Amino acid sequence: MTIILDDISNSGNLFPFGQVGSIAHIRIGMLTILERWQLFFRHVALASESPVTHGKTLTFPADIVPSHDMLKSLASGNRQNEEAFIKLHHAADIFKFNDWALRQDFEILTTGRQSQPIPDGINAKAKDNIFIEEFTDIESCYINAEAGPVYISEGASIMQGAMLRGPLFIGRNSLVKMGAKVYGATTIGPSCLAGGEIKNSVIMGYSNKAHDGYLGDSVIGTWCNLGAGTSNSNLKNNAGEITLHIPTFNEPVKAGTKCGLLMGDYSRSAINTSFNTGTVTGVSCNIFGKPPDKFVPNFTWGEEKYDFEKAIRDIDNWKKLKGFEITEQETTSLKKLYNQL
C-alpha cells in the first residue's frame, strides 16, 4: 500500500510554512507529519513529487495530523478510526495542538523501549514520564514531567541551570543553554539552540533562539535565527482577539487570545527585535531597523526587497554554521517563490 500526501487542498493556508517544500515536512509534536505516517507505512509519498506507487493507494490531505489510533487502524486494513485526526487550518494551529501531538508521540515512541538512566545531579520530578535516548549530555538541571512527558533525543545537550517542564521534546543534537526556561508544550527540533524563556512553541529544526528574550505561543520554521534579546508579545493589552494576516485568506484570521510569532523558513531577526502579537513573517526575511509590522512579506531585507543572490548567499552562510550547504533543490524552490513577488 502507498500513502500519498497531497498539499493541494491546503492552498497556502499554513503560510508562512510549506512554501518551500511540502507541508508534510511541518513538525508538530516530536515528528513531522511525513514522519508520523512513516512510522506505520513503508511507502509514503508526496503528491507533488510524482510518486511511484506500490499496490493500493490511499490519498490524504497533507495538512492533517493523524492520531496513532487512526494510523494503526489504517495499517491493519481497518478504516474504523479514519477521522481521528487534527486538521491544521492555519499556522497558529501548529502550536495550539502541539500538546496533543507531544503526548501522542511520546506514547508511541517510548512503548517497548528503555530510557537511559537520569544522570546524577538532576532534579527530576515524575521520572517515569522522562525518556532519554543514548549519547546525551545532561548537566545539573531541573526536569519536571508532572504536567506532561519530557523526551530528550540522541546527541542533545542540556547545560547546567536549565529548567525544563513538560510536555517537551528536545530534538537530536540540539543544545539547551544555561539558565534556559522551557515549558508549556514546546518542541525544540533537531540541531537547534534554545535559550532564554520559551513557552508553548514549536521550533521546527536547525534554528536558533539561543539568548535571553521571550518566545511564547509561537512557531519558528527551519534555518531561522532570533538575535539576542528578541522577544514577542503573545497577549494583547486588552486581552482581546488576535488576528493574523495570511495572504491566502480574504479577511484577517482569528487566532484566539494567545498568539505570538509565526516565522517562515530561513528568516532572521536582529538583536533586541520586538514582535507584536500575532506577527507573521515570510520566508527569507532579514528583520532589522524599525519595529517589524505584523505582516512581513517573503524576502524582506529591513524595509526593502532582498536581492535574490544575496539571500541565497546568506542562507548558505547560515547553513554552513551547522555543517550544511544550500542545495540546488532549495535554490530552485526559493527562486520560484521569489518570482511570485
Structural domain spans, the chain? 2-89, 110-338
In order of 35, 164, 168, 234, the CA distances from 149 in angstroms are 20, 11, 6, 24
Q: Are 123 and 51 in contact (CB under 8 A)?
A: no
DSSP label at residue 264: -
The pLDDT assigned to 82 comes to 60
The pLDDT assigned to 29 comes to 98
The pLDDT assigned to 51 comes to 72
In order of 2, 74, 118, 138, the CA distances from 62 in angstroms are 14, 16, 37, 36
Residue given cell 493523524 in the structure block: 66
| Structural domain 110-338, CATH architecture | 3 Solenoid (2.160)
The pLDDT assigned to 223 comes to 99
The pLDDT assigned to 282 comes to 98
Q: 10-residue block means of pLDDT along the chain (341 residues)?
A: 85 91 96 97 87 82 94 83 84 98 97 98 98 98 99 99 99 99 98 99 99 99 99 98 92 96 99 98 98 98 98 98 97 97 92
The pLDDT assigned to 332 comes to 97
**Torsion region of 284: left, alpha or beta (phi above 0 gives left; psi -120 to 50 gives alpha):** left
The pLDDT assigned to 11 comes to 66
In angstroms, the CA 220 to CA 205 distance is 8
